[in-house]
Chains A and B, each alone.
Chain A
Amino acid sequence: MSSPANRAAVLDSTSSRATRVLGWLTLAGFAVLVALAFAWVPEDTRITEQGDVVGQFDAVRLMFVHVPSAILAYTGFGLTFLASVAYLRWRTDWWDIMAHSSAEIGVVFGVLTLVTGSIWGRPTWQTWWEWGDVRLVTTLVMVLVFIGYLAVRRIPADSAVQARRSAVIALVGTANIVIVNRSVDWWENRTLHQQSTLIARKIRDETLFTLSFALAVGMVLFAWLLLHRFRTAYLERQVEELEVQEALVQRRAEASLGGDRA
Chain B
Amino acid sequence: MPPAMGAALVRDAWLVAGKDLRIEMRSRVGLNQIAPFAVTVLVLFAFALDTNQEALRTYAPGLFWVTVLLASLLAIGRSFAVDLADGAADRLLLSGIDPIAVFGGKALAIAVQLVVLEVLLGAGVVLLFDVTVYRYGLLVCAGLAAAAGVATAGTLYGALVAGLGVRETLLPVLLLPVVAPVLVGATRAFQDAFGVAGAEGWAWLGLLAGFAAIYGVFGALSYGALLEEA
- In the assembled complex, the CB of B142 is this many whole angstroms from the nearest CB of chain A, namely 14
The reply to whether A155 and B166 contact each other, CB–CB distance below 8 Å, is yes
Interface centre among B174, B188, B204, B215 (most CB of A within 10 A): B174
| A144 sits at the interface (CB 8 A) | yes
Contact, CB under 8 Å: A148 / B226 = no
What's the Cα separation between A173 and B207 when bound, in Å?
17
Are B173 and A141 in contact (CB-based, < 8 A)?
no
A158–B164 CA distance with the chains assembled, in angstroms: 12
B214 within 8 A of A: yes
Tell me which of A21-29, A60-68, A75-83, A180-188 binds B. Answer: A180-188
Q: Find out whether the CB atom of A183 lies under 8 angstroms from the CB atom of B207.
A: yes
B173 partner residues in chain A, CB cutoff 8 A: 144, 147-148, 151
Contact with A along B200-222 (1 / 0, CB 8 A): 00011001001100110010001
- With A169-B160, A187-B188 as known contacts, state yes or no: A151 contacts B170, CB within 8 Å: yes
Structural contact, A164 and B214, CB atoms closer than 8 A: no
Chain B neighbourhood of A183, CB < 8 A: 180-181, 184-185, 207
- Asked if B225 is at the interface of the complex by the 8 Å CB criterion, the answer is yes
Contact of B207 among A151, A168, A182 (CB under 8 A): A182
Tell me whether A175 and B214 are in contact in the complex, defined as CB-CB below 8 angstroms, given that A183-B207, A187-B184 are known contacts.
yes
Interface size classification for chain B? 20 to 34
User: Using Cβ atoms and an 8 Å threshold, which residues of chain B touch A148?
Assistant: 170, 173-174, 177
A165 and B160 alpha carbons, distance in the complex (Å): 6
User: Of B166, B177, B210, B211, which one neighbours A145 at CB under 8 angstroms?
Assistant: B177
- Give the complex CA separation of A175 and B218 in angstroms: 10
A71 within 8 A of B: no
Q: Closest CB-CB distance, B229 to chain A, in whole Å? A: 4
> Which chain A positions have C-beta within 8 A of B29?
none
In the complex, what distance in Å separates the CA atom of A116 from the CA atom of B38? Answer: 38
Chain B nearest Cβ from A94, distance in angstroms: 20
Q: How far is the CA of A81 from the CA of B151 in the complex (A)?
A: 24
CB distance from A64 to the nearest CB of B (A): 29
Cβ of A172 under 8 Å from chain B? yes
Q: Is the CB of A165 within 8 A of B226?
A: yes
B131 is an interface residue with CB less than 8 A from chain A: no
Interface residues of A in 147-168 (CB under 8 A from B): 147-148, 151-152, 155, 157-158, 161, 164-165, 168
Taking the closest CB of chain B, its distance from the CB of A91, in whole angstroms, is: 11
8 Å CB contact of A152 from B170, B203, B211, B222: B170
- Confirm or deny: A16 has a beta carbon within 8 angstroms of a beta carbon on chain B: no
Please give, as numbers and ranges, the residues of chain B lying within 8 Å of A175 by CB-CB distance: 214, 218
A145/B178 contact (C-beta < 8 A), A172-B218, A186-B203 known = yes
Does A179 make an interface contact (CB < 8 A)? yes
Shortest distance in angstroms between A41's beta carbon and chain B's nearest beta carbon? Answer: 36
Contacts of B111 on A, CB cut-off 8 Å?
Answer: none
Given the complex of chains A and B, what is the CA–CA distance between A184 and B226 in angstroms? 30
- Asked if residues B188 and A164 are in contact (CB atoms below 8 Å), the reply is no
Rounded to whole angstroms, the CA-CA distance of A129 and B185 in the bound complex is 22
Question: Do B211 and A168 touch across chains, with their CB atoms under 8 A apart?
Answer: no
Is the CB of A212 closer than 8 A to any CB of chain B?
no
Chain A 164-207 interface residues, beta-carbon cutoff 8 Å to B: 164-165, 168-169, 171-173, 175-176, 179-180, 182-184, 186-187
B188 contact set on A, CB distance < 8 A = 187
Please tell me if B147 contacts chain A, counting CB pairs below 8 Å: no
Most chain A Cβ neighbours within 10 Å, of B161, B178, B207, B226: B178
B156 at the interface (CB under 8 A from A): yes
B178: chain A residues at CB < 8 Å are 145, 172-173, 176
Beyond A179-B207, A180-B180, 8 additional contacts (C-beta under 8 Å) are A147-B173, A151-B170, A155-B166, A164-B229, A169-B160, A182-B207, A183-B185, A183-B207
- Pull 5 A–B residue pairs with CB atoms less than 8 Å apart, ordered by A: A141-B180, A152-B161, A168-B225, A173-B178, A180-B180
Q: Which A residues have a C-beta under 8 Å from some C-beta of B?
A: 141, 144-145, 147-148, 151-152, 155, 157-158, 161, 164-165, 168-169, 171-173, 175-176, 179-180, 182-184, 186-187
The 4 closest A-B pairs by CB, nearest first: A183-B181, A144-B177, A148-B174, A161-B229
